[in-house]
Amino acid sequence: MTPRSRADIPTATRIVVKVGSSSISGENAGQIAPLVDALAAAHGRGAEVVLVSSGAIATGMPYLRLDSRPTDLATQQAAASVGQNLLVFRYQDSLDRYDIVAGQVLLTAGDLEHETPRLNAQRAMDRLLALRILPIVNENDTVATHEIRFGDNDRLAALVAALIGADLLVLLSDVDALYTRPPHLEGAQRIAEVRYGDALAGVEIGSVGRAGVGTGGAETKVSAARVAAESGTAVLITATTLVDDALAGRDVGTWFEPAR
């Protein structure tokens, strides 16, 4: 059932969690284990959980001896090919502690824009969840081109939430909530709740993420939250370090009320 407030989050039966590259790669690779702890707790209480994880390119970069995110498409694709394999291995290695099996789902924008591949993706995801598998979704960066990309995994997560009829979407990053202005600026105040249809007038929303390996910022998360809320999915934006509190229904992050 779709939670109507944070307190209802533990009752959500189908949950999509999205985590960004900067939260689980490089020096933050150690955050995979506590993230998995929180996902396993929700899975253990009977929820169906889907993880949308960025990080393939960032994870592959050291193995291609790259110091910064590549700008050309071919090298991005090569880094993603190497990194996706390593990323899923790291998740599965952590999930083994809970006897949870992951399933890899790689999508392109075209898969969700056209009816036949969209229905195929929906059927596959539904079956994985019915089998108590934890799908790990990412954009198929190895074959996607600039013209057919989702643009960022916040949008992908919102579309996946709509595709599978999720009750809750949790968008994780390195910032603990949405603020009235970029949080490093004086006077910034946390926005605890956004009512459905609220235009957020007067709120200064940044368009770029803080880390050099990610592609999304607050603007992409707000846009994704609106897409998911429009489809009837409740949304919570918070920090990766607070995912356990988020899935337990505690007062963290910014809550987006879903359409009824």
Average the pLDDT over 230-250 and give the result. 96
Mean pLDDT of 67-94: 92
Whether pTM > 0.85 for this model: the answer is yes
**Token reading at 179:** 């603020």
SS3 260: coil
223 is in an annotated binding site: no
- DSSP letters for 228-256: HHHTT-EEEEEEGGGHHHHHTT-S-SEEE
Q: Per-residue pLDDT tens for 85-127?
A: 999 999 999 999 999 999 999 998 888 888 999 999 999 999 9
Contacts of 83 by beta carbon, 8 Å cutoff, 6+ apart: 55, 56, 57, 58, 59, 60, 61, 63
**54 is an annotated ligand-binding site residue:** yes
Q: Is 18 labelled a binding residue?
A: yes
153 is in an annotated binding site: yes
- Domain segments of the chain: what residues? 6-256
Give the tens place of pLDDT for each residue, 183-231.
888 889 999 999 998 888 778 876 544 444 444 578 899 999 999 999 9
CA 138 to CA 69: how far, in whole Å? 17
CATH assignment of 6-256, given 2.60.120.10, 3.40.470.10, 3.40.710.10, 3.40.1160.10? 3.40.1160.10
Q: Confirm or deny that 174 is annotated as ligand binding.
A: yes
